[in-house]
Structure 1
Amino acid sequence: MKNSSDNLSNQTTSSKLTKIRFIMTGFSLFLLVVSLGLVAFKGFNWGLDFTGGVVAEVRVDAALQADQIKAHLDQELSQDVQVMKGSDSGQWIIRYSHDGELDTGIAEQLAPISQNVQVDSHSIVGPQVGQEMVEQGSLAIIACLLLIMVYLSMRFDWRLASGALIALMTDVVIVLGVFSLLQIEFNLTVLAALLAVLGYSLNDSIIIADRVRELMRMRPNGQTEPIINEAVKATFSRTLVTSGTTLVTVSSLWLLAGDSLQGFSIALFVGIVCGTSSSIALGVTLPQLFGLKPADYIPQSLDIEENYS
């Protein structure tokens, strides 16, 4: 009687977990479609790394703070100006877009808020360099996805491989959708964060997929749904601890590192949250929908006599 009660409880828990997985999968696919629409119609707020602009190193009164300089220049130049702390006291690195001509009036722009203004250097990054960065960054992501696809296809069944790869692409597209929606500046540090998200999400998906494959080999006559649910439960604590500690670190970076790493931190934060949810839902639910079953892992015996006849 006790065994039948335990079995009923396990079946109820498994059905609830399956429902949660399908709901999370549907929500992830919905976010994927919305993110693709945002990227297509709203685009990105490209940083100076991609669009080109002016980079100036200036020295002003040591009492001035970054927010004071930024607020003044934002108003004077009618744009979002980047202000970063230099190596010395009173030294600042200022970056802003330009109209095609090298503007040398930054000293005059800063004169109302500082008695002493000295321009140490003044250079321009052309849009041609920015175009090269866009192309190289896109090629890096495409090459990364292709290599991951080859690796997953060699290690897992094509259904597990496709689930992990779709989850991976979904994580990246959702991060891009967040940046498009909020119009957060997209620069090279954000591109580096996207590549980090690829690696993090892949690691989570491989661990759960490996557990699914192991359980299916152990239970060739079992059912797909309870095996996948058991694999998710077996790796959930590890996933939760890893993601939780990483999120604490990224949150600290977001709050304390300043504006220069804000985009990097936001991309990692969103990517880790999406990567964790997609690996326990999308990455294993899609293979189930594609027809993955334990019988696929039963070794096939070869009839040698029949082959030679």
Structure 2
Amino acid sequence: MFKFTFNVEVDDENPFNNIHNKEKNPSEKDLSEEDLEWYKAEKVSINTDILDNFDVYKLNAKILNVGDISIHHIVTGYILNHIAYNCEDNKDLANAEQSHSDLIPGVYEGGAKIWECTDDVLQYLATNFKSQEWRGKRFLDLGCGVGLLGIYVYNCGGTVHFQDYNRDVLTQITIPNVLLNLAAVKSVGDVEDSTESPEYKEIQAADVELLEEEVEFYAGDWCKYADITSNSAKFDYILTSETIYNPKNQQKLLNTIYKKLSANGVALVAAKTYYFGVGGGLRQFETVITADDRFQYKIVWSTSTEGIGREILELKLKDVRGI
């Protein structure tokens, strides 16, 4: 277990004001290696270490209002700075922070940052659907990172699997964010445009037990996650943002979506039209979908700005017979 030793303060910036672009220097990040050993998948539980540090997470919390839903989340800068130089138990995050890298293939896949297309999906959901529609639905937040997409639908009454490549990201960021929303006292609009800090109740063991009936966390490789959860119910919706930047992993992504999506389910894939330095992009990904021939897809949202655009693709299974 670790304890934070730094002074904390609330960061009032919108988390999307300083969005990170998933564009890499190819001299630093060679994604062409074929011999990467991807992490095995594992279920991650909410342990006492996370609960013991909950007071620090509360002090670093802020609220993002999306439509009529509030998303509580920590400002990760403080935690990442501490992990980089103080925590041997979180080696992947520490390695990434010390090297100032958003991507170390096979080691760290950028889960500690809020990526630009995450906001696109949140706004798309809030604009096109009523929050009540998600109650009782099953969701997979695939490559969840800080977990904003899964938290949004969880706050709408959905059941969610949060999946991220790095266990460190889940234990130090995603799970604390979910717990903040479980413990939140104030509702949407209560702290908007205010310097007042969010309010939270104490979390009891019974609260965690109830949460784990609706929410599960998984770390590791996508396909290995699909394998260890093969007996679980499939999902009505799969949400994934900025996960197609590496062309080598796109077929793996499609295979996972195919295995985990229910017969009449919908997958939303949000991404940029091109990722400099790594080779992936939406047009290139569409060629993989076409060659795969198991999905029908269409663009349901796109930016109107010049330059590198952002879009959301909707994927559905072509043939549901036998699924």
The alignment's TM-score, normalised by the length of structure 1, stands at 0.24
Q: Which of 1 and 2 has higher RCO (CA within 8 Å, sep 6+)?
A: 1
- Indicate the structure (1 or 2) with the bigger Cα radius of gyration: 1
Q: Which protein is richer in helix relative to its size? A: 1
The alignment's TM-score, normalised by the length of structure 2, stands at 0.24
Q: Which protein is richer in strand relative to its size? A: 2
